[in-house]
Chain A
Amino acid sequence: MTGGEADLITRVSDDLPALQIAVPLLSAAICLLVRRARAAWAVAMVVAWGSFASACVLLSRVLQSGTISYAEGGWRPPWGIELRIDLLNALVLLVVTGICAIVLTASPRSLDQEVWREHHHKFYALYLLCMTGLAGMTITGDAFNIFVFLEISSLSSYALIAQGTTRRALTSSLQYLVMGTIGGTFLLLGIGMIYMVTGTLNIADMAVQLAAVGPNRTVLVALACIGIGTGIKLAVFPLHIWLPNAYTYAPAIVTAFLAATATKVAYYVLVRFVFSVFGAPLAFGELRLDAVLMPLAIAAMFAGSFVAIFQDDIKRMLAYSSVAQIGYMVLGLSLASVSGLTGGLVHLFNHAIMKSGLFLVMAAVVLRMGSTRLDAFAGLGRRMPFTMAAFVVAGLSLIGVPLTVGFVSKWYLVVGAIEGGLWPVAVLILLSSLLALIYIWRVVEVAYFRQPPEDAPEVSEAPASLLVPIWVLAGATVFFGVFTSLSVGLASAAARMLFGVEL
């Protein structure tokens, strides 16, 4: 290797934060140009896996040498736009790009069935755009930039959802569009108000200026606006009403992708604003954000799971389950302690893995049975043994059985609740996980102990292209349930960083 090449590699790797956004953005256009389904998929695959690799590199660099600050176009912050990667968003970026890549790998067979082939290249373009937006929201250090990327990801996700096979996909997409736009507007309002008070859009700078200003009514309203704005995108109860429809009627691949990434990034944005802009003392001490979020989180945990129990469409059931699981993440935030936030962040990681796995199982079932209604699952335990085994594994994780990721999340949430002296909350966390047992076991029972009807079509196991990604995710729910140093290590380091506790 010559000196020049080595130099180039260093330069490219220094520019990784920018490439993380620029490459998917430009590749989306390339997808549109190639117009061939499989070719577009190949482009998207290269980009998605490349992004994941780059996220891994960035994470290891953050772990080695601390926060990365990248000045776009060489304009120094706080005047220019900064990309800023610390422990917190390095973790989120890893999750987002990782899930993107895995779900994309599983997509061709499922899309062949659910989306017209002529539209595939557009689908992949949208997919990459959405990924661009999500990655951008995650790594940008600029508040207004968050809004811009939010809109990029939202607009592309509306279009992705509208690809669903039934006409109800269109109304669901519209419903999400209306709600999402309201959410985006609230977020913009909030950012505007902080800008009014501080005169800056750089997040790190905002924090400095805001600390000097102290709490006042504008800041309070700004926090409320940002809370509502991200709350809608995050589907915090009772702002979740767009979610069940969107997840149910979108193509299964889109659901697997969005369920594991879009809400997670919204959660990240909320955490980022609360801790890095307002600061924990202001947000929890003065403005009592925890008192608002905790009841909502607990209501979500129960309402979401409870409604899930009565769903006949399993995809919809999992959507309501997501509402409940988001409740756990928000609860972790509202506990306002290191353990609690660790629980919330680690659940971000864990829930992304299990839910994308479960929704990919739905993709496999739709592919073979053409439906995800409960009746369609009859006898699948025998006819699609590997797919259903993955469902059981990921489902057990959702319940929180030890040695799965769900147990790890629940452990930290319960510890956080008890440490905070909130005994009833600890009890409620445990009780609500029993609801998960009920809705998961309904499916298990039908799949393994109900005979399929006589006239049921012969079905075979899902194709390997779906089965492998499904099992990568199902395996990950167990792997990260046993080897927790990556997920828990990062989450607890990030939580301590956000609370300003010594590492």
Chain B
Amino acid sequence: MTVETAVGLAVLWPLAGIGLIALFRRWPNVRETATLLTAGSLFAIVAKVILPAVMAGGRPRLDIIEVLPGLQLAFEVEPLGMLFALVASGLWIVTTLYSIGYMRGHHEENQTRFYICFALAISGAVGVAFAANVFTLFVFYEAITLSTYPLVTHHGTEAAKRAGRVYLGILMGTSVGFLLFALVWTYLAAGTTEFRPGGILAGQIDGWQLIVLLGLYAFGTGKAALMPFHRWLPAAMVAPTPVSALLHAVAVVKAGVFTVLKVLVYVFGIDLLASTDASRWLTWVAAFTIIAASIVALTKDNLKARLAYSTISQLSYIVLGGALATSAGVLGGGMHIAMHAVGKITLFFCAGAILVGAHKTEISEMDGLGRRMPFTFGAFLLGSLSVIGLPPMGGSWSKWYLMLGTVEAGQLTMMLVLMASSLLSIAYLMPVVVRGFFRPPTADGHDDQDGEDSPKIREAPLLCVMPPVLTGIGCVVLFFYADDIYRLLMGIVTP
């Protein structure tokens, strides 16, 4: 198999999985095996075939078709997309295991539709990761939006439908209103929408136009959840937890920040941004989002809502990294895609495990749960530390490079923002762990002697607990393997 075919195959692979899932819809065990096999083999294709080629400096390219003159549907793998595809496909395996435990433990309905839409979304994420130009990226970006809509409205309740409207409204609204506009504008200005090292806009447009176009891209990518277009992410939390975990902490939101980062690096070009200062305003928007979302997170008692706002805040780290327009900033931003993904998915897994095992969603009700669910809360601690950015957790490296980036750019205010955000994240994440481990269980219920109708609290099923433990350990492992990611991403700044 040539690397080029592997690239196309990686995008189509989850779709083939859909066929199997639909075929075996009556036999849940076979159906889940099919998903698992698809996820595993997808990761194998990405990691074993495509990754070595990209590490060796190759840029495998696959042209599909020219849809309109100058608008190619094409794939080309570069380091950033490589990393995103690795993260999305790798975590899909873990999430599938978790889904099996969660969806059955929580007695969810319409599971076939759930697994099908999930696979569709992954196909979209891989497509976004490998897109060779803005047009292809836009196609798969919209595919992700549409395929995740049924996951958000999964429960079909009035609240789910309302959330679905917010979700679709903001994501489609920004992408059609701004991103598509930016796509047309780029096409007319540069005559192409291809991602090229150094960008394609240098010498084509300048001054205020550059700033407006950047704004269209940054806000048009609603999935990056820059304020004020972030409301869809908390709304999406009505979805089953595996969706929140993989899609709304990893695939969907990372597709958003990935898009922003990729456009900054390969459409505008870091040099152009650095020399014109066109992205300075974006650092301020990102900084505002980082701080404001962290503060909102502090006020949320619902664990998933708190994590959602934490995600909004962390996503803006990546936007900030790109907007700094320095190589360290871009490296840090790229690295944070992976680091935050593993950390945040752990936290969401834990939130779901707590829901399945203890039927609790509010943080204030979690006193003492850690003693009954030590693995879940232990994993939560690991994930929290990584998101906060403390060693020996993977998250510390990306934060390190982001801080270097602020120094390189001479924007020390931004460094203060990052530090403040670390403190805030300690303030909104640690209470969960502290309550779980150190507070005595509240009197109103979950002690065993407390009455027969009170639900018995214990660890969730194995398939619900093992994934967060795995990804929690992954956070530690990433601390020691950050060098590999660093070498992969170096390909962006030194082509």
Q: What residues of chain A have their CB less than 8 Å away from a CB belonging to chain B?
A: 396, 399-403, 408, 410-411, 414-415, 418-419, 426-427, 430-431, 433-434, 437, 441, 445, 448-449, 481-484, 488
Find the B residue at minimum CB distance from A414: B184
- Shortest Cβ-Cβ A-B pairs, 3 listed: A402-B139, A449-B156, A414-B184
B408 at the binding interface (Cβ < 8 Å): no
Q: Return the contact of B142 from the options A401, A433, A434, A449 (Cβ within 8 A).
A: A401
Query: Contact between A482 and B65 (Cβ–Cβ < 8 Å)?
Result: yes
- Residues of A within 8 Å of B169, CB to CB, are 437
Query: Contact between B184 and A426 (Cβ–Cβ < 8 Å)?
Result: yes
On whether A433 and B176 interact (CB within 8 A), knowing A402-B142, A418-B185, A449-B153, the answer reads yes
- Residues of A within 8 Å of B349, CB to CB, are none
Main secondary structure of the interface of B (DSSP, over half): helix
Known: A403-B73, A418-B188. 9 other contacts (CB 8 A): A396-B146, A402-B135, A403-B139, A410-B180, A418-B185, A433-B176, A441-B165, A449-B161, A482-B65
Distance in Å: Cβ of B368 to nearest Cβ of chain A = 38
Query: Contact between A401 and B146 (Cβ–Cβ < 8 Å)?
Result: yes
Find the A residue at minimum CB distance from B141: A402
Name 27 interchain pairs, CB-CB below 8 A, sorted by A: A399-B176, A401-B142, A402-B139, A403-B67, A403-B73, A408-B67, A408-B68, A411-B68, A411-B71, A411-B184, A415-B184, A415-B188, A427-B177, A430-B176, A430-B180, A434-B172, A434-B173, A434-B176, A437-B168, A445-B153, A445-B161, A445-B165, A449-B153, A449-B156, A449-B160, A482-B73, A484-B67
Q: What residues of chain B have their CB less than 8 Å away from a CB belonging to chain A?
A: 65, 67-68, 71, 73, 135, 138-139, 142, 146, 150, 153, 156, 160-161, 164-165, 168-169, 172-173, 176-177, 180-181, 184-185, 187-188
Q: Return the contact of B188 from the options A408, A419, A437, A481 (Cβ within 8 A).
A: A419
On whether A414 and B181 interact (CB within 8 A), knowing A403-B139, A437-B168, the answer reads yes
Most chain B beta-carbon neighbours within 10 Å: one of A401, A402, A433? A402
Distance in Å: Cβ of A210 to nearest Cβ of chain B = 34
Distance in Å: Cβ of A436 to nearest Cβ of chain B = 10
Distance in Å: Cβ of B108 to nearest Cβ of chain A = 15
User: With the chains together, A396 CA to B176 CA distance in Å?
Assistant: 12
User: With the chains together, A437 CA to B67 CA distance in Å?
Assistant: 23
- Residues of B within 8 Å of A427, CB to CB, are 177, 181
- Residues of A within 8 Å of B173, CB to CB, are 434, 437
Distance in Å: Cβ of B177 to nearest Cβ of chain A = 5
Find the A residue at minimum CB distance from B140: A402
User: With the chains together, A188 CA to B173 CA distance in Å?
Assistant: 45
Most chain B beta-carbon neighbours within 10 Å: one of A396, A403, A483? A403
User: With the chains together, A401 CA to B172 CA distance in Å?
Assistant: 9
- Residues of B within 8 Å of A448, CB to CB, are 150
Q: Return the contact of A431 from the options B65, B135, B177 (Cβ within 8 A).
A: B177
Most chain B beta-carbon neighbours within 10 Å: one of A414, A433, A483? A414
Q: Return the contact of A482 from the options B67, B161, B177 (Cβ within 8 A).
A: B67
Distance in Å: Cβ of B211 to nearest Cβ of chain A = 15
User: With the chains together, A411 CA to B184 CA distance in Å?
Assistant: 7
Q: Return the contact of B176 from the options A400, A403, A426 (Cβ within 8 A).
A: A400
